[in-house]
C-alpha cells in the first residue's frame, strides 16, 4: 500500500528581522529541525517517499553551509526525497540547485525535479509528475502538460507543483503561477501535492496544500503540519492525515481591556501558553495603576519564559482611580503633574506621557513604602 509524506515551503535561510538576534537565530534554526522531524515521521510511518512541493530554500543566495545543512537534515530517512523548485528557489540556469550539485551536497536518494516531466520511483511504483518553476513568476499553468503525460501502468500518478489554485485562494494571491482547480481530475492523478500556500488546505479529495512545517508568520491558516498520504491502489481515493511538525507556535492577540476581569482573563491566558510560543500582543483600552503593575509583571515573566514576546501598548491608557491617586499621596505640584500626564495620553506625546505617568506612580509608591514599610 503506497504511502508518502507531502511537505512544502521549508523556506530554509529565512531571516526574522523583526526579532532580536537570539530569537531570530532560534527561529531560523528551527527550520532545520523541521526537516529532521519530517525524516523521523517518514520512518515512523513506513513511508515510501517524501515529496517537497517547492520553496525548499527562501532565496537563491543562501550560503553553502545552509545548503549542506538542509540536505544533511534529510539523512534520517533513507528512502527517496523528491524536491521541486518553487518561486523562491526557481530552477534558473544558475540557481541554488545548480550550486548544490556543484558542491556535491545532494545525497543520492534526493531527486531534484529541475525540469518538467516525470520522476520515476520504480521500487515504490510511484510516478511523480513535476511542474518546477523555472522563473519566479509565470502566467501559464505549468501543470497543464500533466494531462498528456503517460506513466507506467499500475503505478501511482502523483502531481507535484507550486502555485495558486485558481478561484480558490484570494484574488491577490492567485495572480501568478496559476494551477487549474480540476487538474487532478483532468490529468487522472491519484494525488496532487501543492506548495506556495503556507497553511494546511484541502482543495478537493485528491488535491492538498501541506503548508509550511514550521510557522514563520502570524497567520491563522494552520501552518506547522505535513501530510501523510496513503493510496491503497491506483485510482483509489487517498487517505490524508495531518501530522504536526511545528517546534514553535505563533500567536497574535488583540485585546481590549475595559474592566478588571478583562485583565484577569488576559493574564490567565498568558500563563497557560506553551513555552514554545511566539507571541505578538496588541493592547487597547484602559487600566488602573494597580493593574498596570500586574500587567508589567506578567509581561516580564512571559518574556523570560517563552521563545519571543512582543507587545504594543500604544493604545492602552493608564486611568488611575481616585483610590490610586489617594494612595500615591500626591499633592501640590506633583499632583498637578499627574493630572497633566493623564490628559496627555493621546496624540504624538501619548507614549511618553503614559511611560512618565507609570514611572512617576511607581516612584511615589516606592517613596510611600519607604516611609511606611
Q: Cβ atoms within 10 A of the Cβ of 293, count?
A: 15
Distances (CA, A) of 292 to 113, 296, 359: 56, 6, 11
Stretches in the chain below the pLDDT threshold 50: 369, 372
Cα torsion at 16, 20, 23, 24 (round to 10°)?
Answer: 30
* Alpha-carbon gap, residue 197 to 327, rounded angstroms: 55
Longest alpha-carbon distance in the chain: 92
The span from the first CA to the last CA of the chain, in angstroms, equals 75
Contact 249, 274 (CB under 8 A): yes
Contact 155, 234 (CB under 8 A): yes
Give me the pLDDT at residue 366, please.
Answer: 58
pLDDT digits (tens, 9 = 90+) for 139-174: 899 999 999 999 999 999 999 999 999 877 665 555
List residues bridging with 192 in a β-sheet. Answer: 159, 207
Contacts of 149 (CB under 8 A, 6+ apart): 117, 118, 129, 187
Give me the pLDDT at residue 167, please.
Answer: 77
Give me the pLDDT at residue 352, please.
Answer: 80
Q: Model pTM?
A: 0.86
Domain extents in the chain: 3-244, 249-371
Edge-to-edge strand list for the sheet holding 117-121: 117-121, 126-131, 156-162, 191-195, 207-209, 201-204
Rounded (10°) angle between helices 350-371 and 289-305: 100
CATH 3.40.50.1220 correct for 3-244: no
Residue 282: burial class (beta carbons within 10 Å; 0-12, 13-18, 19+): middle
Contact 195, 85 (CB under 8 A): no
Which grid coordinates belong to 280? 505578538
Cα torsion at 141, 116, 95, 86 (round to 10°)?
Answer: 40
* Alpha-carbon gap, residue 44 to 7, rounded angstroms: 16
List residues bridging with 130 in a β-sheet. Answer: 117, 160
What is the separation of C-alpha 94 from the centre of its chain, rounded to a whole number of angstroms?
28
Give me the pLDDT at residue 334, please.
Answer: 61
pLDDT digits (tens, 9 = 90+) for 172-187: 555 689 999 999 999 9
Amino acid at each position: 500500500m503506497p504511502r508518502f509524506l507531502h511537505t512544502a515551503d521549508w523556506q530554509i535561510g529565512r531571516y526574522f528581522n523583526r526579532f532580536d538576534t537570539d530569537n531570530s537565530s532560534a527561529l531560523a534554526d528551527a527550520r532545520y529541525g523541521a526537516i529532521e522531524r519530517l525524516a523521523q515521521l517518514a520512518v515512523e510511518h513506513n513511508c515510501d517517499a517524501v515529496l517537497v512541493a517547492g520553496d525548499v530554500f527562501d532565496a537563491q543566495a543562501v550560503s553553502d553551509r545552509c545548503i549542506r545543512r538542509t540536505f544533511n537534515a534529510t539523512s534520517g530517512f533513507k528512502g527517496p526525497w523528491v524536491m521541486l523548485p518553487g518561486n523562491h528557489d526557481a530552477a534558473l540556469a544558475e540557481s541554488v540547485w545548480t550550486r548544490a550539485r556543484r558542491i556535491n551536497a545532494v545525497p543520492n536518494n534526493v531527486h531534484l525535479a529541475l525540469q518538467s516531466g516525470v520522476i520515476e520511483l520504480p521500487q515504490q511504483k510511484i510516478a511523480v509528475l513535476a511542474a518546477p518553476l523555472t522563473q519566479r513568476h509565470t502566467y501559464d499553468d505549468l501543470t497543464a502538460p500533466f494531462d498528456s503525460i503517460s506513466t507506467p501502468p499500475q503505478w501511482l500518478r502523483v502531481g507535484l507543483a507550486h502555485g495558486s489554485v485558481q478561484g480558490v485562494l484570494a484574488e491577490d494571491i492567485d495572480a501568478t503561477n496559476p494551477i487549474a482547480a480540476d487538474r487532478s481530475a483532468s490529468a487522472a492523478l491519484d494525488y496532487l501535492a501543492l506548495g506556495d500556500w503556507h497553511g494546511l488546505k484541502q482543495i478537493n479529495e485528491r488535491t492538498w496544500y501541506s503548508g509550511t512545517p514550521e510557522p514563520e508568520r502570524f497567520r491563522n491558516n494552520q501552518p506547522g503540519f505535513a501530510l501523510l498520504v496513503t493510496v491503497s491502489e491506483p485510482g483509489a481515493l487517498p487517505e490524508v492525515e495531518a501530522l504536526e511538525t511545528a517546534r514553535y507556535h505563533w500567536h497574535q492577540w488583540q485585546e481590549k481591556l475595559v474592566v478588571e476581569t478583562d485583565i484577569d482573563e488576559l493574564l490567565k491566558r498568558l500563563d497557560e501558553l506553551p513555552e514554545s510560543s511566539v507571541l505578538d500582543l496588541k493592547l487597547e483600552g484602559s487600566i488602573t495603576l494597580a493593574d498596570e503593575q500586574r500587567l508589567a509583571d506578567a509581561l516580564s515573566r512571559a518574556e523570560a519564559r517563552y521563545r519571543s514576546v512582543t507587545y504594543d501598548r500604544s493604545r492602552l491608557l493608564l486611568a488611575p482611580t481616585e483610590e490610586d491617586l489617594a494612595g500615591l499621596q500626591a499633592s501640590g505640584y506633583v499632583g498637578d503633574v499627574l493630572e497633566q500626564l493623564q490628559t496627555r495620553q493621546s496624540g504624538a506625546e501619548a507614549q511618553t506621557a503614559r511611560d512618565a505617568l507609570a514611572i512617576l506612580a511607581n516612584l511615589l509608591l516606592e517613596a510611600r513604602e519607604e516611609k511606611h514599610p
